[in-house]
Amino acid sequence: MTRYFTKDHEWIDVAGDTGTVGITDYAQGQLGDITFVELPAVGTAVGKGDAVAVVDSVKAASDVYTPVSGTVSDVNGALEGEPELVNTDAEVAGWLFRLTLGDPSELAALLDQAAYEAYIAEL
Amino acid sequence: MSQDSSPDSAGFPDDDETAGPPAALTLPLDQWHRARGARMVEFAGYWMPVQYGGEGGGIIAEHLWTRESAGLFDVSHMGQLTVSGKQAADALETLLPGDIAALKPGRLRYSLLLADDGGILDDLMVTNRGDHYFLVVNGATKWDDIGHLRENLPDAITLNHLDEHGLLALQGPRAATVLARLGLAPARPDAPGLADLSFMQAAPFLWQGRPLGVSRSGYTGEDGFEFSVRGEDIAALADALCAEAEVRPIGLGARDSLRLEAGLPLYGHDLTERTDPVSAGLAFAISKRRRAEGGFPGAERIGKLLADGAPAVRVGLSLDGRMAAREGAAVLAGEREAGLVTSGGFSPSLGHPIAMAYVDAAQAAPGTRLELDNRGRRLSATVVPLPFVPHRYHR
């Protein structure tokens, strides 16, 4: 499994043709207490960079963009009752949705862990 | 991921890469906040703590702590002004709709700085300090307020900006118990003690020889106190208060959610130059004598609104579901636009989203079901009376 990142603070784990997407721990720290997560419907076809989920914090609502195109295959149902999982475990249990990759070549444009860490160190 | 809206300009650091307004200033407690893990944001031209780090930090935890125990807020960005001179009350009454002449020494009152058309330039607190009036105005509007007051007060009236004073607020059900331990002494033999202060009363005190202007007031709906304190003394006072187990520092984020639950409007959002006191539900700030006599800016228009009712009024909305409506969301009655959300967010005390909105008078009765268009999503809401969470003032 390989993890990639975006400069918009999403992560995606890729295993075969399936990607699992969430927001980074850095992002959840910036947002503060998360009170609601709106997830896409399973089966939705999404294009790279589309706003497909919303993370609502006490302060503000934030769009989550899908790092790559594909078709949504699963969503994290646990977030309905426990949106705070995105705060406590953003990069594991707080995942948002899975998708079947539409074009795996899009992954090449994403950041790896080291590049993302270097990027947020500059923020 | 991108942040869509924020009441406090707390965005990702790359939000301001273009040349914007002048760099934010630091307040006397800047380092004090940073040492407590505060996330600092630019607000009203100052670096301010939006929330703290570590144990007990975060907007929801800070909010609930204030409702259950006591929270300390640094609101030193606000403007502290004194107005003195003969007939200062009469002079203020030409600019505010409150009965300043009837305000007794040691009492404070909520009032409004009004434009000629009755629009709200700012909301403020006026305290009668015996030999002068003390005004606390909003941070974002203080420079405009000072200009407006200088231009409109007669030359015989002296306006002083206490720009070397900070302002702290201690809020919550344990505030009085905690403050009683600090050993504040009345500043004058005839001045009341802490225990004598009720909601909207003020008195001068000495704390370890340092002068403190104390009022029993605040912006959370809880019992509590506000302290006008010299900049050089503020860190010592903040340390002494936070040394008490019941007290934690609270950031601007929770200040906003607390005031929203308390139904208290926020200038620049729920109140603007385009809103008038009657529509805003602030008719209580226009005293009976002033209604009869007039003589304040916009008196004619406001008198008409009082008599006929305002076409749209500020109401509370309780939202279904978990998604919060934000400032700018349209209010819909059926498919017809019936108003605008001016503040909204998740209520930590109630566990669901709430909002304030201006809605057409016909849709303003408690129990009315409305829809909101929040960034293209339809949310359902019910009009409810304000405040959302009952006030617990010490009367």
Q: Give domain B7-75+164-261's CATH superfamily.
A: Probable tRNA modification gtpase trme; domain 1 (3.30.1360.120)
Q: Mark residue A54 as left, alpha or beta (left: phi above 0; alpha: psi -120 to 50; beta: remaining).
A: beta
Q: What's the ipTM?
A: 0.86
Cα–Cα dist B144/B48, whole Å:
20
- CB atoms B324 and A35 under 8 Å: yes
Of B1-15, B216-230, B260-274, B313-327, the poorest mean pLDDT is in: B1-15
- CB atoms A8 and B1 under 8 Å: yes
Q: Which of B51, B323, B326 sits opposite A38 (nearest CB)?
A: B323
Query: Would you say B354 and B395 are in contact if contact means Cβ atoms under 8 Å apart?
Result: no
The architecture CATH gives domain A2-121: Beta Barrel (2.40)
φ/ψ of B344, rounded to 5, equals -165, 155
Residue B12 scores a pLDDT above 50: no
pLDDT digits (tens, 9 = 90+) for B147-174: 999 999 999 999 999 999 999 999 999 9
Mean pLDDT of chain B, nearest integer: 94
Q: Which residue has the tokens 């009341």?
A: B192
Chain B residues close to A61, C-beta within 8 Å? 3-5, 323-324, 326, 375
Residues of chain A with confidence (pLDDT) below 50: none
Q: Domain residue spans in chain B?
A: 7-75+164-261, 311-395
| Beta partners for residue B215, in sequence order | B202, B226
Q: Domain residue spans in chain A?
A: 2-121
Burial status of residue B5 (CB atoms within 10 A of its CB: 0-12, 13-18, 19 or more): middle
Q: Which of B1, B8, B257 sits opposite A63 (nearest CB)?
A: B1
Confidence at residue A70, expressed as pLDDT on a 0 to 100 scale: 98
Confidence at residue B360, expressed as pLDDT on a 0 to 100 scale: 98
Cα–Cα dist B42/B37, whole Å:
16
Q: What does the block give as tokens for B138?
A: 């909003």
pLDDT digits (tens, 9 = 90+) for B106-153: 999 999 999 999 999 999 999 999 999 999 999 999 999 999 999 999
Confidence at residue B54, expressed as pLDDT on a 0 to 100 scale: 87
pLDDT band of residue B364 (cuts 50, 70, 90) is: very high
- CB atoms B3 and A31 under 8 Å: yes
Across B250-274, average pLDDT: 98
A22: amino acid identity, one letter: G
CATH level 3 topology of B311-395:
Elongation Factor Tu (Ef-tu); domain 3 (2.40.30)
pLDDT band of residue B21 (cuts 50, 70, 90) is: low
Sign, CA torsion A34/A38/A43/A44: negative
| Beta partners for residue A45, in sequence order | A71
Query: Which residues of chain A from 56 to 115 reach within 8 Å of chain B, CB to CB?
Result: 56, 58-65, 83
- CB atoms A58 and B345 under 8 Å: yes
Residue B14 scores a pLDDT above 70: no
Q: Which of B12, B253, B353 sits opposite A32 (nearest CB)?
A: B253
pLDDT digits (tens, 9 = 90+) for B33-59: 999 999 999 999 999 999 999 889 999
pLDDT digits (tens, 9 = 90+) for B62-72: 999 999 999 99
Q: Which of B2, B58, B253 sits opposite A62 (nearest CB)?
A: B2
